[in-house]
């Protein structure tokens, strides 16, 4: 089957590499605010944030989540055309992220769920900051075409 993947090959750590570290800049904050249309002052008003005990604006949760995009690493190249859909995502935001922080995302295959002609790959995601503090945990699920689907079951007539 063209565009299919051998699910067992996804246990290789290289399948989920996300390259390097990511510095979070004020320009990232501004760009994400524009895209999301989220105009809560906690994300852009320094004085508002300081009055509430923060050293500066807090990154949007989804802004931090963007750093876990599996397509930013080798995973997208490993699965190629076998991707049918990105079907589920969950996350917990554990610590704030401020301009100037550096984020280190990590993705790892947590579970493979074979089905007849497809399979679900569950990716565990984490993000640490420059202090090695865990700031995000979660998982993502992808539906993929299998390269060797089981033979179709014939029906008795």
Let me know: does 2 contact 81? Beta carbons within 8 Å. yes
CA gap 86, 58 in Å, rounded:
27
Torsion, Cα 142 145 150 156, to 10 degrees, reads 100
Q: Which of 71, 60, 36, 44 is nearest to 136 (CA)?
A: 60
- pLDDT given at position 153: 42
Residue 154 pLDDT? 41
Give strand pairing partners of 67.
none
Render pLDDT for 122-133 as a digit per residue (tens, 0 to 9).
999 999 999 999
Please work out, in degrees rounded to the nearest 5, the angle formed at the alpha carbon of residue 64 by the alpha carbons of 58 and 67: 150
CA distance 117 to 54: 50
Q: How far apart are CA 4 and CA 149, in angstroms?
A: 9
Beta pairing partners, 143? 85, 120
pLDDT digit string, tens, across residues 21-54: 889 999 999 999 999 999 999 999 999 999 999 9
Residue 65 φ/ψ, nearest 5 degrees: -60, -30
pLDDT at 146: 87
Residue 97 has pLDDT above 90, yes or no: yes
What confidence tier does 70 reach under pLDDT thresholds 50, 70, 90? confident
pLDDT category, 91, cuts 50, 70, 90? very high
Asked if residue 6 lies in contact with residue 109, where contact means CB atoms within 8 angstroms, the answer is no
* Distance (Å, whole) CA 37 – CA 89: 21
Q: Looking at the predicted structure, is the pLDDT value of residue 140 above 90?
A: yes
Share of the chain above pLDDT 70, in %: 82
State the chain's mean pLDDT as an integer.
86
Pairing of strands 134-145, 118-129: antiparallel
């Amino acid at each position: 089957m063209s565009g299919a993947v051998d699910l067992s090959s996804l246990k290789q750590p290289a399948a989920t590499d996300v390259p390097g570290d990511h510095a979070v800049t004020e320009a990232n904050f501004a760009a994400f605010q524009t895209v999301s249309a989220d105009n809560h002052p906690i994300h852009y008003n320094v004085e508002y944030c300081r009055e509430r005990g923060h050293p500066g604006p807090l990154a949007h949760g989804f802004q931090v989540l963007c750093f876990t995009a599996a397509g930013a690493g080798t995973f997208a190249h490993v699965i190629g055309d076998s991707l049918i859909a990105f079907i589920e995502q969950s996350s917990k935001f554990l610590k704030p992220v401020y301009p100037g922080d550096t984020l280190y995302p990590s993705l790892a295959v947590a579970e493979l769920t074979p089905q007849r002609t497809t399979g679900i790959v569950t990716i565990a995601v984490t993000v640490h900051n420059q202090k090695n503090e865990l700031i995000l945990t979660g998982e993502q699920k992808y539906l993929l075409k299998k390269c060797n689907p089981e033979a179709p079951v014939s029906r008795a007539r």
